[in-house]
Structure 1
């Protein structure tokens, strides 16, 4: 599958992320089975880390659900961008592609899906990328569970730097217009200013700020075009 092939570089970037999550979750109240179940059913790396952190910190269910929901609001923007190519697909396809949609898959398919590929089989490209990321995430979570149990020091090796590098590689190419740049800067500023709040609330506020600024600027630009 071409989608899987084009996603290969990002699979390596996700590997340390999966290792660390598996090791951390296995050593928490979730345990190894819980870690694998979360990766299989949730499949949202950042949301899983946040949920795990909040869970071990004693946060309530409502805080965990609300925080992860807001952090994942970006997927609504991803879906809106790609929806023209999937609107006529059967519901089973749309549900599957929505579940497999990640930051990495969106970054890989966006240009091809919107601009370069006009065939009726574009969804197979997305499926290939999404499936590759899904299998990769499960495999590295399992490896993290096993290696974390054998070597608890795994979580202190600084492997999380790969996540930062991958995130930068995904975000920077998308910073092409004023609303996107402003939304990113606003979210970053709020995250820094609110970093001392409990229960990772800084992430919740940063996501809300970024979405609000981006939507406001896009609506303002749209009004300007019609005046």
Structure 2
């Protein structure tokens, strides 16, 4: 890595630096997952393997919960698929920025794509400059999140059982705070604000739907509201659109 040009290294380390606050928010979540996975009957290798190969916190938690409840493989796969459909939206937003990359780059970044990595990568791509190495920023952020998730999944596997009633500590609130930190800086205009408000309201109204379908309904409702406002000339909250 030391042989890389300085510009690429700078982008790489900037990605690590800017995602670092979000890493802190996922640490309790990863520890809790590792502990619950063992409680659900997974072996340490299986629990760690899910983090290594699936790498999707919300889907992993739901999978562990369904396994504990004795759900069938079909229910498990369909439910986690619905939860992860939001990555299609992330991919569509990032596609114009990465379509020029070689397939091995796109495959790596696609596998490492998370909510946190998307948030910081999108902010980097939104900055207008001539850097041809913004994908190195994306990789730095995504790689840091991946390594962080693996390390603290392992911590949960090894030490979570030694902490009494770990699931009752409210550690999952850390992920909620992290998502708030991701979403709020991106609410720069009326369509995005409407999408957040509508999606949040619909998700609460539809939380009793089976297989986490409320998340999908909320996402579609949020997108529809944003598109409608865009078509009606939504302006930036800062007033830039009126200048």
Into which bin does the TM-score normalised by the smaller protein fall?
Answer: 0.7 to 0.9
> SS in structure 2 opposite 1:13?
helix
Q: Quick check: 2:190–2:229 contact (8 Å CA) kept in 1?
A: no
Which stretch shifts more, 3-12 or 126-135? Answer: 3-12
Distance in 1, matches of 2:189 and 2:83, equals: 22
Whether 2:102 is the aligned partner of 1:90: answer yes
Cα distance in 2 between the residues matched to 1:155 and 1:139: 19
Higher mean displacement: 47-56 or 183-192: 183-192
The one of 15, 20, 38 aligned to 2:50: 38
What is the match of residue 171 of structure 1?
Answer: 183
The superposition leaves residues 53-73 of structure 1 with CA deviations (integer Å, 9 ceiling, x where unpaired) of: 122222222222222222222
CA distance in 1, matches of 2:85, 2:105: 21
- Equivalent of residue 134 in structure 2, options 102, 119, 122: 122
Q: Alpha carbons of 1:185 and 1:60: their partners in 2 closer, same or farther (altered >3 Å)?
A: farther
Name the residue aligned to 1:103: 115
- TM-score normalised by the chain length of structure 2: 0.82
Q: 1 or 2, which has the higher helix percentage?
A: 1
Rounded Cα–Cα distance in structure 1 between residues aligned with 2:167 and 2:77:
25
* Partner Cα distance (1:182, 1:55) in 2: 36
Cα distance, 1:158 vs structure 2? 1.8
Cα deviation 1:88-110 (Å, max 9, x = unaligned): 11101000001111111111121
Q: Which one has the largest radius of gyration?
A: 2
C-alpha distance in 2 between matches for 1:64 and 1:187: 24
Are 1:16 and 2:28 matched, yes or no? yes
Is 2:82 aligned against 1:70? Answer: yes
Using structure 1 for the length normalisation, give the TM-score. Answer: 0.87
Structure 2 counterpart of 1:206: 215
RMSD of aligned C-alpha atoms? 2.1
**1:197 to partner: Cα distance:** 4.8
Alignment partner, residue 241 of structure 2: none
Q: SS in structure 1 opposite 2:158? A: helix
In the alignment, the residues of structure 1 paired with residue 165 and residue 218 of structure 2 have an alpha-carbon distance, to the nearest angstrom, of 36
Alignment counterpart, residue 173 of structure 2, candidates 157, 161, 171:
161
Deviation at 1:19, TM superposition (A): 0.4
